[in-house]
Structure 1
Amino acid sequence: MDLPEEVMMEILMRLPVKSLLKIRCVCKAWCGLIKSPSFIDMLKRYIEHENQTMISFHSNNDEAEKSLSLCLRPPIEVTWFYHRNLEAAHLIGPCNGIVCITDGMDIYLCNPATRELRKLPPSPFGCPEYYRPMTDGVGIGFDSSTNDYKVVRILFWETIEYSPGRQYQAELYSLNTNSWRELRDVILPFYHFFARCNLLFQGRFHWRAWHALAQPCDTDCILSFDMRAEVFDVIHYPPSCVGDLGLVENKEPSFVSLNDSLALILCTSLPEEHPAPPQVIDIWAMMEYGVEESWTKKFSLGPFTIGIRLPLCLWKDDKQLLLESRSGRLISSSLLPDELEAADLKEHDIFESSTLFEGRIYAESLVSLNPIYMEEAIIE
C-alpha cells in the first residue's frame, strides 16, 4: 500500500540514522526521500522521539526565520538513564560550557562542544539502616580560587517504611580530585526542589525550594549555594508574589539572568479545562543581589491565549523570552519596548512530545573534563 510522502517522512524520521542509511537501498523512492533536503532538515529539528531524549543546539543567529531552527551539529542522545524507565534526564547549568545531566541517581558532566562526557563516581557515604538516599537537588559551578569545577548534591534519607520527617545530607564533588566529600554542619530544612527551575548566577547555584520550617505552613523560597564559600543561603520572593500557601495565583516560576541581575519569571499556570484562559507573565529583577527589598517588576506580558506551559530562558541579549507552549513547541515573546503592547507569541520549528522541554543558553568552550591523570571518556 502506497503512503503519502508526508506520512512516510513522519515514519522514517523516527528511525535511527544507521537504519536510514541501510534502508536507502530498498527502493529509489525511499532513497530519494531520505536524501532530500526537506527530510534532512526535518530530521535535524526532530529532537525527541520514542525512548530518546536529545540535547539539540540552535544558533543565536540574526538571520530572520532561521535563528531558532538552524541546528548547529547532530544532537547528543541522552539515553543512559532509560533502563530505569524514568521520564528523562535533566540539564543543570551550564557553567563555562559544561552542563550537568542527571536523573537524580547518576550524574554526568558533559562538554557538548568537544563531546566529552564524564560520569561522576558514586557517593562513598552511606545512609542509616532502613533508609534509602534520594536526590532532591543538583547544582554545578566553578570555584576560581581553586580553578575547580564543583557539583553539589542535596539528598534526603527516605525511610523504607513510612515515617514522618526526613534527614538531609549535602555532598560536594570536585573535578580536580574526582571525589565527593560531605558538607558538614549544614542545616537543610528544605524539600521539593524543582529540576527545571534552577540557575547558576554569580558563582551561586539557585533552586526553587520550599522552606519546611516556615510558619504557619510551607513557603516557597529560593535556595542558593555559594560554590566558593560552600555555604547555603535563602532568598525570598517579592512579598506581593507570595501568599500563605507559597507563590500566589498558581504561578510557575523560572530563574534567569536579566541585564546582570537575578530575575524571576512568573507565569500563570494552566488549568485542566479547555480552552485555557488568557495567561499573564511577570518578570521581576533583584537589582542588588541578596537585597530582597530591591525586587523590581520589569515586565508584564500578555494576556496570551496560545497556552503557555512554562517559561524557559531569555534569548538574544535579553531581548526575547523563550517559552514552552501547551503543545510542546518552542515559542518566543519580544521584550523590546516598542513591541510589548502587541502581546504576540511566535512559534518556532523546535518541539518535543512530552512535558520535559528544557531550554538553556549555551556558549561553547574548550574546557576539558579529563585532567591528565584521569581516564578519557568521549561520546562516540
Structure 2
Amino acid sequence: MATTQAGIPADIIRSVLLNLPVKALLKFECVCKEWCSLIRDSNFKHSYRGEERLIALSKSPGFSHPIKISLVDPLSHVCVLEQLGEFTEHLSFLKDKRYPRPHVLGCCNGLVLLSFNSHIFLWNPSTRHCSKVLQLLTDSVGGPKGSGFFYDSSTGDYNAIILLPRLVLVASLKKKEWRELSLPNNLRCGRHVLQFRNIFHFEAIDLQWGTDHFSRRYKILYFDPESEKFKPFPAPKVKDGVAQEISAFGVIEDCFSITIHNRCDNTTEILSMKKYGVAESWVSMFIISGSELPILYYDRVTFYSLKRKGLIWRCWRPPTMFVLDMETKERKTVLDGITRETIAGGLDTCLVVESLASPHEFIWIDDQHKHFAKEITLRGTSLQIIGRCGIAIGAISN
C-alpha cells in the first residue's frame, strides 16, 4: 500500500478527503503537492460526491435589480438563506435589458445549466466556476415548456434538452450542435418536468383522448439518450371515469414522486415510486385538500423532501415557494428572505450535490469556432439557433 511523506497510507488520506465538504478541499489543496495532485485528479473529482443542497435563483422585477443566488438550508422548515453571490457583479452583460432573469435548465453531477435568454452557462455552485457553453435564440417562439440536463457516460459528454410544444431540441456540450427530435404525432409536452437519477422525465398530453377520458390523457415519458427516443414511464393507475390529472413532479426520500389532483373532491394525492421503474411500487404517501395545497393553478411545480419531514415546493409561474409539513399537512411560512417582491422577476430552484466537476472543459471560445446559424421552421415561425460563438466566463466568488 502506497504511503505519503508523512507515513499515512494514501488510501486513508483519499478516503478522508472524499468525505470533506468542497470548501475544505479547496483549502487543503495548499497543504502539500501530494494533496493538491490528489484533489485535482480527474478520478478523485469523479468519485467525489458531497452534501445535497437546494439552490434558489431569484430576481426582483426591474432590470436594475441584481440576480440573487441563495443556498436553502435543508434543516429547517422556515429555511434560512445564505447569499452566495450576485451574477450581475461578475457577468456585466447581464445588466443589459435583454437578459432580465435566470432560468435553470437542469443540473447533473453537481453542475447547473443556466440560461439567460439566449446565453447558456454551465455553473458549479460549490467551486463558483462558470463558463458559457451554448447559445440558443428562441425569442420568436416564446419560452420552453421544460428543459433538462444529463450526462452520457458512453461519450463522457453532457447534453442539454429543451422542450417546445411539438418539438424537442438536444445539444451536446462538446460538439456545440443542436439536434431536432419530434414527439409522437398524438402527444404534446405538458407542464411538468423532473430530472431524476440522470434521467429526464416529463409530462405529455395525449391529444387523441377526449375530455370524457380525462385521466388517460396525461402520460409520463422519459428520454433515452442512447436511442434518442422518448419512452413511456410507468404511471400509477387511476380509476376509470375519475377526473384526475398530474399536478406536480418531485422527489421524496430519493424516490420519484408525483401529485395527482382529483377534480371531483378537490384533493391532491402524493405518490412515490419505491422501486424506480416498477409500476407496482407506487405508494400513496398522503392526501391533502386543495385549500391546503392549491398547486393546480400553478405552472411547472416541483417539490423536494427535506429533513424533519418537510416538503419544499417551488412553482415557476406565478413565482412561489413554500414549505409543507408532512405530518400536519399544513403550509408553513414562505422561506425567510423570499417574498413576492424578491421573486416577482423570476424564481428557479435546483437540487444539486457538492462537486468538484469543472465546467471549463466545455467552454465556448470565439477564436476556435466559426459562427453558424440554422433556421428551423416551426409551424410557420422561424427559430434561430446559434452555435459555436460567444464568450467565456471565469470564476464566480463570494
TM range (shorter): 0.5 to 0.7
1:347 aligned to 2:345?
no
Unaligned runs of 5+ in 1: 1-43, 124-130, 157-167, 270-277
Q: Which residue is 2:394 aligned to?
A: 378
1:264 aligned to 2:277?
no
Q: Which residue is 2:73 aligned to?
A: 60
Once the 2 structures are TM-superposed, how far is the Cα of residue 116 of structure 1 from its aligned partner? 0.3
Once the 2 structures are TM-superposed, how far is the Cα of residue 298 of structure 1 from its aligned partner? 1.3
Q: 1:169 to 1:208 in 2, by over 3 A?
A: closer
1:111 aligned to 2:124?
yes
Q: 1:178 to 1:55 in 2, by over 3 A?
A: farther
TM-score norm. by structure 2 comes to: 0.59
CA distance in 2 between counterparts of 1:344 and 1:149 reads 37
Once the 2 structures are TM-superposed, how far is the Cα of residue 45 of structure 1 from its aligned partner? 11
Q: Which residue is 2:170 aligned to?
A: 172
Q: 1:72 to 1:104 in 2, by over 3 A?
A: closer
Percent identity over paired residues? 21
1:92 aligned to 2:89?
no
Is the contact made by 1:47 and 1:351 (CA closer than 8 Å) also made in structure 2? no
Unaligned runs of 5+ in 2: 1-55, 366-391
Once the 2 structures are TM-superposed, how far is the Cα of residue 253 of structure 1 from its aligned partner? 1.9
Q: Which residue is 1:69 aligned to?
A: 80
Counterpart of 1:359 in 2: which secondary structure? strand
Write the deviation string for residues 344-370 of structure 1: whole angstroms up to 9, x where unpaired: 523332223438543322323232222
CA distance in 1 between counterparts of 2:74 and 2:186 reads 44
CA distance in 2 between counterparts of 1:371 and 1:46 reads 27
CA distance in 1 between counterparts of 2:252 and 2:84 reads 28
CA distance in 2 between counterparts of 1:61 and 1:327 reads 23
Once the 2 structures are TM-superposed, how far is the Cα of residue 134 of structure 1 from its aligned partner? 7.9
> Which residue identity is paired with 2:134?
L
CA distance in 1 between counterparts of 2:142 and 2:313 reads 33
Once the 2 structures are TM-superposed, how far is the Cα of residue 200 of structure 1 from its aligned partner? 1.1
Once the 2 structures are TM-superposed, how far is the Cα of residue 257 of structure 1 from its aligned partner? 2.3
1:50 aligned to 2:62?
yes
Q: Which residue is 2:237 aligned to?
A: 239
Is the contact made by 2:173 and 2:362 (CA closer than 8 Å) also made in structure 1? no
RMSD: 4.4
Once the 2 structures are TM-superposed, how far is the Cα of residue 75 of structure 1 from its aligned partner? 3.7
Is the contact made by 1:370 and 1:377 (CA closer than 8 Å) also made in structure 2? no
Is the contact made by 2:57 and 2:102 (CA closer than 8 Å) also made in structure 1? no
Q: Which residue is 2:199 aligned to?
A: 204
Write the deviation string for residues 224-257 of structure 1: whole angstroms up to 9, x where unpaired: 112344321123643337868xx62xx6622122
1:142 aligned to 2:142?
no
TM-score norm. by structure 1 comes to: 0.61
Is the contact made by 1:303 and 1:343 (CA closer than 8 Å) also made in structure 2? no
Q: Which residue is 2:323 aligned to?
A: 332
Q: 1:228 to 1:328 in 2, by over 3 A?
A: same
CA distance in 1 between counterparts of 2:287 and 2:269 reads 4
Write the deviation string for residues 302-331 of structure 1: whole angstroms up to 9, x where unpaired: 565586675542142583111359996632
Write the deviation string for residues 126-177 of structure 1: whole angstroms up to 9, x where unpaired: xxxxx97985543210112222111123446xxxxxxxxxxx5444211222
CA distance in 2 between counterparts of 1:373 and 1:356 reads 26
Once the 2 structures are TM-superposed, how far is the Cα of residue 186 of structure 1 from its aligned partner? 6.4
Counterpart of 2:238 in 1: which secondary structure? helix
Once the 2 structures are TM-superposed, how far is the Cα of residue 100 of structure 1 from its aligned partner? 2.5
